[in-house]
Chains A and B, each alone.
Chain A
Amino acid sequence: MTAVTTQPSAVRPLQPWKLTTAQRFSRFATVIAVVAVAALLVLVSPLAGLAGIALVAIPLQVAVSVARSGRHGSVAARNDVATSLIGSAFLILMAPWLSILYTVVRRGYEAISWNFLTDDMRVTAPDAELGTGGIAHAIVGTGVMVLVATAVSVPLGILSGVYITEIRGRFTKLVRFIVQAMSGVPSIVAGLFIYSTLVIYNKSYSGFAGALALAVLMIPTVARTAEEVLKLVPEELRFAGYALGSTQASNVFRIVLPTVRSGLVTSAILGVARVAGETAPLLMTAQIFLATKGNPFDGPLASLPIVTFSFFQNGADNAVTRAWGTSMVLLVLISLLFALARAVSADRRRSRR
């Protein structure tokens, strides 16, 4: 066999459908101009605010698209209009999320201080001066409940995943079906369930009850993610294990699970991120407690979302600021969990190479 000597010449595909830089620039400038014109129109009309600008800018952009591309035929015009509308849909949907982030930070940062993170509300009224009291009780409470929920739900979730990918028994379809049905359980129903069993039986709210309600909500997330990562284990690894005479048990514990360890950690983190902000189920299970404590079996226990909610219900300015501050802590916590999950799975990808 002769070696291939002809080097592929440096022919770059022309991609004539791609916009040139000049065209890109002119489109970008058009959008800016359209928004500016819309803003001017809004100033001199009864319309107001960003919504008013959008209401004028989007039809205007569509009209510009038709005028610009119409000379290339109706297909080109439709394509241009679709681009405008799809871009608008994206911008409209991004607006509320950016607004949420902005609002939480702008209204919440005032409440944040070292004291806010380390003190509790045992001796402080919700509407007292900012800088006194804090949400340590909520941080500790959420931490404890999330730990207990993780301890309960992660083994169950991983077992579901292992059942589907390793045992592959006759319940495989059923297990998958149940996990999907469970992921749709409204959070308040999980709370009512724990209330109707544990809380009524113990005649007392408790952090443990709250943790169990969170665990019910966490299991489907963990199980799904665990199944996804377990599916990535190459079949050859299992065969190699069996060929060496290993039992299925040692195959699972020494080969399959260690291979996807970081993926399983990711599944647990995503589960935690899913439940750390749940409010409704904790209303009827863990309730709220104003002092910092870490024992989940000793009566009601505070949590970040419930404390946010109760600060808000107080209604006073300082209390509402505290509510936003607590929201900010919660949002930062969840973002950190996501970043952590991403870092762990990126690590996995790198180590596989």
Chain B
Amino acid sequence: MSNKIKLADINKLFKDLDVESLEGVTIEGDIELNISGGGGLNPALAYALGHEAAQISLHIANISRMLGYPVDQLFAEGLGLVPSPATVAEPAIQNLIESKFEVAKIAEWNTPIEEITLGATSADGGSRKSTVTLGGEKAMPYYFDAEMPHRNYVTMDVFDIPISMAKTVKSNYEDVMEDPAEWAKKVVKDFNADMVTIHLISTDPLINDTPAREAAKVVEDVLQAVDVPIVIGGSGNPQKDPEVLERAAEVAEGERALLASASLNLDYERVAKAATDHGHAVLSWTQLEINAQKELNRKLMKQCNVPRDSIVMDPTTAALGYGLDYAYSNMERIRLSALMGDTELNFPMSSGTTNAWGARESWMKESPLKEDSDWGPREYRGPIWEIVTGLTLSLAGNDLFMMMHPTSVQVLKEITQTLFGSIESRPTDINSWVTAEV
């Protein structure tokens, strides 16, 4: 068998060198290279052919140079550097070079995250119908290295007094804002919340200074109204919160609630004691600082004797566009350190995803800056802001999401459970996406 290559073909091979510009040069006759060998092009043959072509290329270039054509400049312009002629005639390959894709699992991820169960059923001395178990991961979330044992959960916010909130959010709660128990019922029944967070914000001395004893009654009401596990939050006032959480922990005894929260700027010992005395878990809250998180967790364990199965961390959530990059990498670092053996950090994480509603993009009617393109209706902007904030942190390892808008909750659950692996696919022929009518 013999492969013939004609000058015309060589010219094609030379296209890369822009030798079309050499059209003025004519070479007499049709030079033919006869190459004998087995079927197809083998690498040795290809190399030889390349070499031949390179020789001819130089030859033609030399002729042109003699004719005064600026060949070298042309080479330099065309390729940005002097070409290696051997690559010019790279042959077409006839058959796919078959390869096997392989990738290793990550061996250093050798420490699982603690499993924390919230809520207690009658079997365990509580009155919840269901419980929620967070954590247990042995890999980054949704990774193929190890199966994720528990899905992500959403706890929806309920406040003990009506508060100001974004219009898009408020429109869902106007009928229940005066009654925390009804509010709690609504988020569970209508909006599919896995848990309820009751924020006792009226206890803040600068708001209503509601006595702790009175606030605890609201907690009882919420426990009566719903049968899912609950989170009990204070007002964020560091002087008042320990007392408020103590009272609340007392009335919720046996229900295994999550107390929010212990932090370095309040009397965390009192909060920790309230949790351990009454069988609750405690939320260990720090502000975007991995070392502070280690310190607080260590204090809770060593100084306050909080058992390892009763700590959830809130390393702080900043909204999309307002520091989410710090929140994301802080969580990712915490989770990676934990998987690689840091037993001061291997606890489930919780995100105050509701913070997304602080971003002006989520609630402002239009951009305050004249230079911006139109922001579109805020009714659509708000929920997606909360969703993207949450799902980004889910990819960093966050387990529990505190959220507000029903659409956000629905979509966040859909994507996290999809990546978790519990949602069936809708049949979609993605091979035809290029021509799809959308």
A and B held together in a complex: no
Chain B residues engaging chain A, CB cutoff 8 angstroms = none
